[in-house]
Structure 1
């Protein structure tokens, strides 16, 4: 079944996170007395509803979003749970709410800063999203709140034991192609990837300086086959055709960030990470949906929407 296959795919990533973080202090699935918090950064793959609270059209606050699990739209770009929700469940944590959601959050379980459409670059969909730099600013506010509420020693312990999840970068590449940006006339693809990667590694280093040590990353998916690109941003006669140059940039990015993470592990004392090959996993499912029990892609959006597949254009 599709959902069983999806759970196995998530379980593999979660298990690797459990290994590097000792979330369960022994057996996977058992609650721990000292939980490990999750701090979540990125785009629509992880956005649990932050965009509902900013002035943007990039929202998932209408059906069919949320219909298969929550039974109503929550702001998640899925009809069910997100990858980060499954990770929280496997770690015996509650779903991590969006940072901007009103309420008195203590943040002892973590916070979700992700914003649909956001990139590593401030310029990506500027004014419509919470870019990575702004997400880091929110994290600093949370850190200050934890210090105030828990005391410096306990807050530092929480920060150092926490897991920092990232899914970011794809929108930076989709944006420059979708807006016919002139940036690739002055930079090669590899140079632009280097700029995006530089912002991501800067964010990692910033969190590391604050005490963060344990990180989880998704590689970019096959973004050149994003349905919005296939249908709405293609020249006449090209509708339904993947944009190979965009997918190539994702592949360059994935190779570069894998190498960068390995270098950081060598350079930064105590730095540990889990890296999931989202590209290969989702390409396999997109190319062979029936193999995984998916006969109606639109009807299986809880499984496939995490690759930014939208029912509305099927």
Structure 2
């Protein structure tokens, strides 16, 4: 008798999780704005430079995808894992012909900036990505009807991951910009544009947001290689300082918006400390190499030659990308993407907050093991 009772309880638990999974999938959508950190292949469809594309080998090296897709990774990227956790299909690139936008769309573009002057004409900047969103919003209303489309828009999660290019290329790579603006002023310009974009999405119905803060930009393999003290493993501290200033300003802006905008909810991340710890203590997280890139050439693999399509056509490729924090001179490996997606999804609260992305996709309904036990006790009383 007890065996059948336990079997029944197990079935009820499985059924409950199945219902939750179905609810997430039916009610949720995922809209993504960003740069190469989350580009799934939009740059395959625009005219740009080789540095802004990844639709050639060895990108996609781990064979999860049949061929290179345009993702700047040896496999999947963070938003692929987040979609999986939310029981959604892979979110398609906006520019992919005949893409289905029913579960959301990814507007990200390698090289894109929050400022339209960053890599102008070579990437899809944030303002253009927002214009694309408006077009998708209209298409959804035509397809689903106004009421259903508005419900999907308001219940969706909006993920924004960009800013690195504004500082690495838009500022440090642009002497004129450095002459015109002090670093603090420039951070203010970037943050002003980002705040305006968030408010614009809010006005269109968006309520739930996720953000990927900036990493220690000065410790990227490409910046280590350019540092005069590269042989000492030194980071480019000016770039790190700008990344920290950006992250601090972002946190302040988000707290203010939470107070000003009704129902505004967000998940922010301390990506700076998170990945810095993995660079400095790789073995602690299952890696062997925290500073050098798996694919590239020169000191730390920091000369951006992965794939051999740049001015320098030679490059080196490590045997096992899963042992590396960095895939190429700028971008982390799939393993880092997966680890950080898990952190954004359900914690830890020390580096993720005030909401976890799981909470946002579940409309703040948190199901815990304790909840299941309580429900089981209630079911026992019924039986």
- Normalised by the length of structure 1, the TM-score is 0.84
Say if 2:96 is the partner of 1:75. Answer: no
Alignment partner, residue 152 of structure 2: 158
Which one of 36, 47, 52 corresponds to residue 39 of structure 2? 47
Q: Deviations over 1:241-265 (max 9, x none)?
A: 4211111000000000001001000
Say if 2:258 is the partner of 1:257. Answer: no
RMSD: 2.3
Alignment partners' CA distance in 1, 2:130 and 2:242:
25
Which structure has the higher relative contact order (CA within 8 Å, separation 6+)?
Answer: 1
Contact 2:218 2:235 (8 Å CA) reproduced: yes
Alignment partner, residue 292 of structure 1: 285
Which one of 83, 87, 93 corresponds to residue 82 of structure 2? 87
Contact 2:282 2:325 (8 Å CA) reproduced: no
Say if 2:275 is the partner of 1:282. Answer: yes
1:40 alignment partner, SS class: strand
Alignment partner, residue 372 of structure 2: none
Alignment partners' CA distance in 2, 1:243 and 1:203:
30
Alignment partners' CA distance in 2, 1:226 and 1:237:
14
Larger CA deviation: 121-130 vs 239-248: 239-248
Q: Deviations over 1:175-210 (max 9, x none)?
A: 135424222223221111010001111110010000
- Rate the CA distance shift 1:310–1:267 in 2: closer, same or farther, 3 A: closer
Give 1:87 deviation, angstroms. 0.5
Q: Which runs of 5+ in 1 are unaligned?
A: 1-24
Contact 1:45 1:307 (8 Å CA) reproduced: no
- Normalised by the length of structure 2, the TM-score is 0.69
Give 1:30 deviation, angstroms. 2.3
Which one of 133, 138, 145 corresponds to residue 139 of structure 2? 145
Larger CA deviation: 199-208 vs 68-77: 68-77
Q: Deviations over 1:133-179 (max 9, x none)?
A: 00001100000100111111111111000000000111100013542
Alignment partners' CA distance in 2, 1:45 and 1:241:
24
Equivalent residues in 2 for 1:180-219, closer than 5 Å:
180-219=174-213
Alignment partners' CA distance in 1, 2:133 and 2:276:
33
- Rate the CA distance shift 1:155–1:303 in 2: closer, same or farther, 3 A: farther
Alignment partners' CA distance in 2, 1:307 and 1:284:
18
1:248 alignment partner, SS class: helix
Give 1:294 deviation, angstroms. 1.4
Alignment partners' CA distance in 2, 1:306 and 1:214:
32
Contact 2:208 2:264 (8 Å CA) reproduced: yes
Give 1:306 deviation, angstroms. 9.3
2:44 alignment partner, SS class: helix
1:31 alignment partner, SS class: helix
